[in-house]
Chain A
């Protein structure tokens, strides 16, 4: 098995998963079922997270494919551009869905604007993902190609590659993004620590609902790191695609992200009043969340040491 296999396996999760989630979401809205609405919002968050490895393994597959004969770079770049656009919309849908879950927890309902935004953005994301998937299929399957053959013109690159080139060529962009990546890390890990330490019995005089309020700041940090991190990847994919440290970092981010949903979906944490002790599984989730994010930071820092970055 190589990394191209992994991409073929992973890219089905966002494409099929988003269709299932939208179907479930529409049924939930028609039936006016809060539980089903929350379940489908949770599904959007999970799919948003799974879209990250689905996208980054694409560059890994590209390297494998272009080594062999008969693969047109023009078709690969067209797929890459389409995939990045779909990725962006899926991330926005996932972020809005998370916010809906968080809001539901605080005021026992989700705002209509949020539900409408999730539905519209998710539908656009499905369309864009279908387009990206179709372009991806055309890389290898010449029999499904439509229209005139695409021929790469001299020096022409896709917009995602052009964005990456701009990112590297402007000398101030990389260091500024690196600084922002660290600021995002403080925000994210700071909130992770505060919330999870409460679950472990520290600052027990605070009810969980007080700490729950700061979760969006952690998600802002995650978004900042997601944007800057993806820009690093798009700018210099070769530093990451064969890097074990990067693979492990991506794996831990997906698991840690899914772990965070615990605080917005399940009731255990929300019910904790001042001086209350959390249940054992709450403590297990807290310890694992802290450990997972430490792992993310560790493998991020180890990119040049365990892997081949920089």
Chain B
């Protein structure tokens, strides 16, 4: 088993999911803001 490869794949996926989650979270926050009339 090439553990280096496994680590790189898992790392790349985890980093991308984190970016995706951050994007989703900021969209949610933005919706909250403008639906409550703050924005």
Residues of A near any B CB (own CB < 8 A) = 103, 106-107, 111, 171-173, 175-176, 179-180, 183, 187, 213, 216-217, 220, 224
Contacts of A180 in B (CB 8 A): 13, 16-17
14 contacts between A and B (CB under 8 A): A106-B35, A171-B5, A175-B5, A176-B8, A176-B13, A176-B16, A179-B9, A179-B13, A180-B13, A180-B17, A216-B24, A217-B24, A220-B20, A220-B24
Task: Please pick, from A171, A179, A216, the residue contacting B27 in the complex, using a CB distance under 8 A.
Answer: A216
- In whole angstroms, how far apart are the Cα atoms of A217 and B22 in the complex? 11
Residue pair B8, A172 in contact (C-beta under 8 Å) = yes
Closest 8 CB pairs of A and B: A172-B8, A176-B12, A176-B9, A179-B13, A175-B9, A216-B27, A172-B9, A180-B16
In the assembled complex, the Cα of A213 lies from the Cα of B30 at a distance in Å of 11
Query: Chain B interface: which size bin?
Result: 10 to 19
Report the Cα distance A68→B22, complex, angstroms. 49
Among A106, A173, A175, A176, chain B packs the most CB atoms within 10 A around the CB of A176
Contacts of A172 in B (CB 8 A): 5, 8-9, 12
A103, B34: Cα distance in complex, Å? 10
| Residue in B8, B23, B31 whose CB lies within 8 Å of A106 | B31
Partner of B34, one of A107, A171, A173, A216: A107
Q: Are A213 and B31 touching (Cβ within 8 A)?
A: yes
